[in-house]
Structure 1
Amino acid sequence: MSDIPIEPIATYRVQLTPEFAFAEVVGILDQLADLGISHLYLSPILGAMPGSTHGYDWTPPTQISAELGGIDGFRLLRAHARAVGIGLIIDIVPNHVGIAVPARNAWWADVLRFGMESRYAGYFDLHPASTDGVDGRILLPFLGAGQDLEELRLDDDGNLCLHDWVLPTAPDTAAPGDDPVEVLGRQHYRLVAATSPLLSYRRFLDIGELAALRVEAPEVFEATHGWLRYLANEDLIDGVRVDHLDGLRDPLGYTTALREILGPHRLIYVEKGLAVDEQLDDALPIDGTTGYDQLQLIEAAFTSPPGIIELDEIFRWITGLPGDGDQLAAQARALRDSTMRTVFATRLRWASAAVAEATPSVPLFQIEQAVAAFVVALTVSRPDYPQLLPRMLATIEAARSELPTASVGLDSVAAVFLAPDEYPEAVFRVSELATAVAAKAIEDVGFHRTARLISTQELGCNPRVPTISPVAFHERNRVRARTWPLALTTVSTHDTKRSGDARARIALIAQVPQRWNLLVHRIWQEAPPPHPRTAYLLLQNVIGVWPDDGSPDADLRERLARYATRAMRDAALITSWPAPNDDAEEQTQTWLAAVLTGTPAALISEFVGLIHGPGRCEALARTAVALLGPGVPDVYQGSQWWDHSLTDPDNRRPVDYTQPTDHQKFTLITEALAVRRRYPEAFGTCGEYREVTARGARAGHILAFARGPADRAPQVVVVTERFSQTFRPGPDREEAAVDLPPGRWRDVRTGVVQTGRTRADRLLGDRPVAILEATDD
């Protein structure tokens, strides 16, 4: 039986489905072991809503999904994985449960039947409302735009049915032949429009089918985590990934309780949004984030600063809108405000009421004005982490200077944040509102409304800060190696807007802005777009997934069409999810279809041919930085080969595991992870990150760093190229050199030994990456 490393070498994320369940995962374990993976990282494993392809809509009772193989299948997977030295990390979802089919969620069904008298009412974050003169009703946002109750009916079991919704009724309130609308009037719930500002349960963001839990309540924590304690006691898992930490009332209290369940040595990773200049709170008893912060750093390091300036001008020409930092900041603030007052109007009321209760002398309208101003001014996802207090107070003062009429209310906001233990409800409501607004307004809507360079519009990224200097890059890596050495580093995940390989290619646009400008002008002439801003975003995505050697096939055309619909509706400029504009969508889909054929397609193929090779080089370079930089690399399913995917569900397509293992990327990952295994002290909690200096006229094309144990000589050096379009093999590389640390350094692939100052052409040859290890030979 092989040992599982206590400090992980690398994780591998698998999206489980009924078609790719525990038994199928067993079938790829040997390949993952050959790759060098130490920990398998599984999507949620609990039973979920019918037809779920992701598991985040799990339902009670807490049992491992029978469709995935149940507890016996999980035990078998654990045994097989352990036999090849691979541990198991599972994705858990403490924030919410699925409620789309109440019959599959006993807790929610009981709440619908008995209202606030239900034994499970305290499990949910409920805020019953008064409607039609009746108090205590739960408002369900299940009605579409303009929809009424004419199609409401009763089934033979006394359930109320409206389209796909099947809702239980309270005892003795429904009989055969009853008027369904009258039956509805007897229930503890009412149906309202999906866009209604009046809601009575907290959702996961704005998704009505996911209801938030009060996991801070001891009985709810036990009901939702007892199964996890069992798995830990049975030694069936090695760690967890916590979904949406910022949605919980008390992140520190929750992770402390979770640590008590799992013990001191199992891994805890949290999905946590961090601003570019924000540090993870070191009071959290965890091993780090899931890696969006490091994704941002890598993305910025490989984005050309001069190209960004030119792309701003092109975006301005296309849309008539500026795309630079100041304008993006103003747009973000406006979008946060509008999103808060429409999508999250109920949460704004809850937050304001909580602050008003804490400071009853201040009128509610002044407090609501202040809460809104504070949330709009924020630049972090969730403001109530203790280390952020000085920043929050500064934000309050900035909001006060911009809106003096809110001064009294802002005093109330400051008061509750200065005494969070005294006013926990107010602090949570304001903080959770801020989290929801940031996720929805910026990531879901904003990232589809602007398009200067969409590779910088990714989870963890900020298009206002698209680049980073090498000095800042190395400093952030030094800090991460020292403070969060076991945090995950990701390039692609199940949630990213685009795969790492697609983003790497799109980022090449910034290295050839003039050629890009010509391409856009030609396509606009050949196929004038009905909505230029939308078309400009779609065109960059087309570039990211375009085939290397030809036009898109029917499958890719269909994938792009589905993506276009989602992107248009998320942007909510010409259409939206609540109110689809069929004509606008059809016009854009017709334009997209035209771009994928004929002269536009030939122009795109020519452009992709220009950047294809450098894009591959940069994808490999980014991969090397993720694999050997500070933290634990997380490999997303299938990305050991080329993966040009868009957002889910496109990036959750089945993976072909019969692809060759002598692939460029597979080989690089194997080599890098083998180095991590040979030098565990260089990369784990004892490891240091050190900059390796590049020199010469083209030194800016090199990123180089060393890894080694603290206070000892480095053991590994990594040299990668960047801005590959103008750093091709040959004379370009003679104009850059690297000062290797003292000693002799052997290339792990070629075996060539180098010392001292070495030119890039000798280090890299025609490769984008060189990995060197110290040798006495």
Structure 2
Amino acid sequence: MHPDSPTSTYRLQLGGDLTLDRAAGLVDYLDRLGVGAAYLSPILTAAPGSEHGYDVVDPASVSAQLGGDSARRELAGLLHARGMGVVADIVPNHMSVAAPAANPWWWDVLRSGADSAYARCFDIDWSAGRLELPVLADEGDGGAAALQRLGVADGCLTYEDHRFPLAPGTYTPGDDPAEVHERQHYRLVSYRRGRERLSYRRFFDITGLAAVRMEDPDVFAAAHAEILRWAERGELDGIRVDHPDGLSDPGAYLRRLHDAFTGWIVVEKICEPGESLPASWPVAGTTGYDALRETCGLFVDPAGEGVFTELAESVGAPADPGPVQAESRRMAAGELLAPEVRRIAALLEPAGAASASDAVAELLASFETYRSYLPEGRAVWDRAVAAARAARPDLAAVLGEVDERVRADPAGELAVRIQQTSGMVMAKGVEDTAFYRATRFAALNEVGGDPARFGVSPAEFHRRCAEREACRPRTMTALSTHDTKRSEDVRARLAVLSEAAEEFSAAVHRWRGVRGLSEPALDLLAWQTLVGTWPISADRLREYLLKAAREQKLRTSWIERDAAFEEEVAAWPERVLRDDELCADVASFVARIRAAGWSNALGQKLLQLAGPGVPDLYQGSELWELSLVDPDNRRRVDFTCRQTHLERLETGRRPGIDATGEAKMHVVRTALHVRRDHDLSGYLPLEPVGSAADHAVAFARGPGSGVVAVATRLPLGLAAAGGWSDTAVPLPGGRGTWTDKLTGRVLLPERTDGYCAAHLEEVLDRYPVALLVRG
């Protein structure tokens, strides 16, 4: 591994199907594929039965479910023996408290209250009285009936399958459980209480995840002791920091982490288009959602926007994403995150007056980015305040007070809590609500994306790549992650629809007339999803659409279920897939765009792998992977199949582009090995010339620009125009031959006048991409 960063990373989603021991068995495969480092999902002890590891309960131990510390050490040793690195995903913002007995810190807080040695670890408002735990069933009585089901067993207060500790001296055998409950430092309340008032800060609106006060040096030390022990022993090379925007002072946290850990650090910071990381953060960069938007957007045809807008309008779905996002942010602030808003408002008015709450909610809904980082993020703050005042002039006085106090003390509690909460509003309002409501063109509805920006031009793509190379050349880049709404290959196929907009619009009207869903936005999303993932099972599609319907929060939600509507949604996949005539129509449509989707998938993958930054591959994505949002994207990966394809490629096979996906692995393997073997510093955009120049994107990397990547964009339009014809890509000057590492073809592009060019009709005759190396 390079001393500053890996050449690439491969994300492994550890869990029941992929333990640390099993990951050790993949080291040889990853090495032969060309991977620079294994990038592990969280491996500290998580909540019982955790499927993802982000619900940590004990930061001092490696998950026994994943194999424990011995398995971690063995994996690290195997990776290092191959010259590969180890990157760990850590979760500093929150811990799981859903099962109190599993979390020793939280258990002690419940047992001892504010006097607990761990009380300082959690962001709890002890002035609000007993700690409220929203776990009781609620039949419209506020949980009163559920309280009658309390019991005491084995020294614990019990409610159904929940267990809670008893404070010393609060129970004598024979005592009424209800009276015992009243003696505790906590109070069990209705699960609906989490939508109203809570005395502890959560992760987003998830009451089972309690925020941690990482700003306390002692809490930082306790939470990071284990991972820093790995680093001290030379067993950890990189850290991915989850959700830094939830911390009270992300910059201070990252500076403390940087002082304690000298390896590669990237942060899961969602940058809105045009936004950059604060310059003061001592990290290599982000986890790559900015690069995802730019790379995938390059394959979207802006000419299709008008047709998709008309399609959305014609079916009754929102056509303009802007108002939907604004409405959804207000809903998130005013409803989903009402407890956080009230806690902030209480800093303005002792009783948390309605006007103060309204002002705080409007301000939080007015941020254009996830967070302002005061004082250096003052411009973001000023724009949010101005927007809130314009939207609610009746609250100008309260907003003025907020603005004055925050600017006077940007490190004070009011400023900190507003900044912590604004990111929550963006995430819950936009990612987890608006992206399921404004479904005009689902390929754009991605983390870090902007559904209002229909595509990315080659000029913007090159500009952003050049900035990345100049400012943060070791940042991570990604196309698929564990948090993306759909995989890169689904997005690549959906991008083709922007070139076939009229045909798709006609198909949707035809299909929905037979088997449409009654909610227009969900219906439009369902048809795009069906096309993007075809063929897909009814079970997978059902689970996705139910999640989408609940995330919409229109006809049903996670909290307020509408059984009748959910039955309609759940029945839709089988109704569609059992309709032979409809399925034949869908299959025929997909067959017409499938090859173009493969072209897009290979193009965006090569540009990511050869471009600036450290490219990450999400597990399994070296072959075609048509996955949807979690938990669909955490399905078991067939590594045996992938190892078989790798063995075939290692014999020198250059596969055709077909349903096996072996062509994608060929591109991945070739590009990763070029990254290992060549210095890819620098970035030089190459401007194609000729009649089809708009359909090619190319750049050169390395000293003397000895490596060139070329990709096809908008393949349907290219075919309609008659192909490449006279189109060529000028190559960096200098004598010598060029070899396309994908085909093995040797090119002699230099003319007598010294002009070098790769003629695309020749270079891209087998694959829609080329990776040229001089010499």
Judge same fold: TM > 0.5, yes or no.
Answer: yes
Task: From the superposition, tell whether residues 505 and 164 of structure 1 become closer, same or farther in structure 2 (CA, over 3 Å).
Answer: farther
Partner of 2:652: none
Per the alignment, residue 644 of structure 1 pairs with 626
Matches of 2:223 and 2:272 in 1, distance apart? 30
Where do residues 453-602 of structure 1 align in structure 2 (5 Å cutoff)?
A: 453-547=441-535, 552=536, 556-597=537-578, 598-602=580-584
Larger mean CA deviation between 197-206 and 733-742 belongs to 733-742
What secondary structure sits across from 2:763 in the alignment? helix
Q: 2:59·2:224 contact (CA, 8 Å) conserved in 1? A: no
CA contact (8 A) 2:693 2:727 kept: yes
Equivalent residue for 1:720, pick from 708, 711, 717: 711
- Counterpart of 1:182? 179
| Structure 2 CA distance for partners of 1:315 and 1:137, relative to 1, 3 Å | same
In structure 1, how many angstroms separate the alpha carbons of the residues matched to 2:514 and 2:395? Answer: 52
Q: How far 1:459 sits from its partner (Å)?
A: 0.8
Q: Deviations over 1:142-196 (max 9, x none)?
A: 2345254156231421423333322222223334444333332222222233332
CA distance in 2, matches of 1:370, 1:581: 32
Distance in 1 separating the partners of 2:132 and 2:378? 35
Deviations 1:1-38 (A, max 9, x none): xx666431100110111432111111111111111111
Measured in 2, the distance between the counterparts of 1:429 and 1:187 equals 28
Secondary structure of the corresponding residue to residue 640 of structure 2: coil
- CA distance 1:229–1:568, shift in 2 (3 Å): same
Residue 364 of structure 2 is aligned to residue 375 of structure 1: yes
- Write out per-residue CA displacement over residues 636-672 of structure 1, whole angstroms, 9 at most, x where no aligned residue: 1111111111111110111111121232111111111
Q: 1:398 aligns with which of 380, 387, 396?
A: 387
1:109 aligned residue (107, 110, 113): 107
Q: Return closer, same or farther for 1:477/1:61 CA change in 2, 3 Å cut-off.
A: closer
Distance 1:356 1:390 in 2: 27
Tell me the amino acid that sits aligned with residue 312 of structure 1: T
Residue 85 of structure 1 deviates from its aligned partner by: 1.3
Counterpart of 2:763? 763
C-alpha contact 2:318 2:437 (8 A) present in aligned 1 = no
Distance 1:420 1:621 in 2: 49
Matched, 1:409 2:398: yes
Task: Letter of the 1:595 partner, please give it.
Answer: V
For residues 84-483 of structure 1, the aligned pairs below 5 Å read 84-128=82-126, 130=128, 136-146=129-139, 147=143, 148-149=145-146, 152-196=149-193, 197-263=196-262, 266-319=263-316, 321-324=317-320, 328-354=321-347, 367-420=356-409, 423-483=411-471
SS of residue in 2 equivalent to 1:90:
strand
Which residue of the partner structure matches residue 30 of structure 2?
32
Partner in structure 1 of residue 657 of structure 2: none
C-alpha displacement at 1:272, in angstroms? 0.6
SS in structure 1 of the partner of residue 543 of structure 2? helix
1:337: Cα distance to partner? 1.1
Q: Secondary structure at the match of 1:705?
A: strand
Q: For residues 420 and 624 of structure 1, do their structure 2 counterparts lie closer, same or farther at Cα, with a shift above 3 Å needed? A: farther
Q: Secondary structure at the match of 1:60?
A: strand
Task: Write the deviation string for residues 717-749 of structure 1: whole angstroms up to 9, x where unpaired.
Answer: 111001122324993121532222223432223
Query: C-alpha displacement at 1:61, in angstroms?
Result: 5.5
Q: What whole-Å deviation, never above 9, does each CA across 1:470-518 have from its counterpart, x for those lacking one?
A: 2121111111110010101101111111111111112211111111112
Residue 273 of structure 1, CA deviation:
1.2
Aligned length: 742
State the identity %: 37
Question: Are residues 1:737 and 2:725 paired?
Answer: no
Mapped partners of 2:511, 2:138: distance in 1: 36
Match of 1:670 in 2: 669
Per the TM alignment, residue 424 of structure 1 is displaced from its structure 2 partner at its CA by 2.5
Amino acid in structure 1 at the alignment position of 2:637 = V
Are the counterparts in 2 of residues 270 and 290 from structure 1 also a CA contact under 8 Å?
yes
Deviation at 1:199, TM superposition (A): 0.5
Q: Aligned partners of 1:213, 1:484: CA distance in 2, in Å?
A: 29
Cα deviation 1:391-425 (Å, max 9, x = unaligned): 3213322333343333333333333443445x421
Report the 3-state secondary structure (helix = DSSP H, G, I; strand = E; otherwise coil) of the residue aligned with 2:347: helix
Give the distance between the partners of 2:530 and 2:513, measured in 1 at CA. 18
The offset of 1:527, in angstroms, is: 1.7
Q: What is the CA distance between 1:237 and its match in structure 2?
A: 0.3
Measured after TM superposition, the shift of residue 679 of structure 1 is: 1.9
Query: Whole-Å Cα distance in 2 between the matches of residues 381 and 449 of structure 1?
Result: 20
Match for residue 613 of structure 1 among 586, 595, 617: 595
Answer whether contact 1:129 1:139 (CA < 8 A) is retained.
no
- The DSSP-based 3-state class of the residue aligned with 1:561 is helix
Distance 2:405 2:464 in 1: 33
Whether the 8 Å contact between 1:145 and 1:579 is mirrored in structure 2 is no
SS at 1:463 equivalent: coil
Query: Could you tell me how far apart the structure 2 residues matched to 1:622 and 1:496 are?
Result: 16
Greater Cα offset, 149-158 or 73-82: 149-158
SS of residue in 2 equivalent to 1:731: coil
- Distance between the aligned counterparts of 1:767 and 1:540, measured in 2? 27
**Does the CA-based 8 Å contact 2:156-2:165 persist in structure 1?**
yes
Change (3 A) 1:480 1:23: same
* Contact 2:9 2:39 (C-alpha < 8 Å) held by counterparts: yes
Partner letter of residue 751 of structure 1? R
Whether the 8 Å contact between 2:148 and 2:178 is mirrored in structure 1 is no
How far the C-alpha of 1:370 sits from its partner, in A, is: 3.5
User: One-letter code of the match for 1:323?
Assistant: A
Secondary structure of 2:509's aligned partner = helix
Give the Å deviation of 1:322.
3.8
CA contact (8 A) 1:195 1:343 kept: no
Unaligned segments of structure 1, at least 5 residues: 131-135
Equivalent pair of 1:149/1:181 in contact (CA under 8 Å):
no
Q: Provide the rounded CA distance (Å) in 2 between the counterparts of 1:730 and 1:701.
A: 10
- Residue type at the aligned position of 1:442: V
Distance in 1 between residues matched to 2:701 and 2:251, nearest whole Å: 32
Name the counterpart of 1:690. 684
Question: Cα–Cα, structure 1 residues 530 and 706, in superposed 2: closer, same or farther, change >3 Å?
Answer: same
Q: Is the 8 A contact 2:243 2:269 kept in 1?
A: yes
Q: Tell me if structure 1 keeps the 8 A contact 2:542–2:572.
A: no
1:225 and 1:407, CA in 2 relative to 1: closer, same or farther beyond 3 A? Answer: same
Partner of 1:133 in structure 2? none
Measured in 1, the distance between the counterparts of 2:609 and 2:758 equals: 23
> Does the aligned pair in 2 maintain the 1:355–1:416 contact within 8 Å?
no
Residues 716, 773 of structure 1: 8 Å contact kept: yes
Matched residue of 1:446: which SS? helix
Which amino acid letter does the alignment assign opposite residue 768 of structure 2? Answer: P
What is the DSSP-based 3-state SS (H/G/I as helix, E as strand, rest coil) of the residue aligned with 1:47? strand
- Answer yes or no: is the 8 Å Cα contact 2:41–2:52 preserved in 1: yes
Q: Which amino acid counterpart does residue 576 of structure 1 have in structure 2?
A: S
CA distance in 1 between counterparts of 2:215 and 2:3 reads 33
CA RMSD of aligned residues (A): 2.0
Contact 1:729 1:765 in 2 (8 A): no
Task: Supply the distance in 2 between the matched residues of 1:118 and 1:7 (Cα, whole angstroms).
Answer: 41
Distance 1:111 1:609 in 2: 59
Structure 1 residue 446: deviation in Å? 1.1
Would you say the 8 A contact 1:535–1:588 is kept in 2?
no
Alpha-carbon distance between aligned partners in 2 of 1:232 and 1:370, rounded to the nearest angstrom? 46
- Unmatched tracts of structure 2, length 5 or more: 650-661, 751-755
Q: Is the 8 A contact 2:516 2:523 kept in 1?
A: no
* Cα 1:508/1:163, change in 2 over 3 Å: farther
Q: Aligned equivalents of 1:574 and 1:617: distance in 2?
A: 38
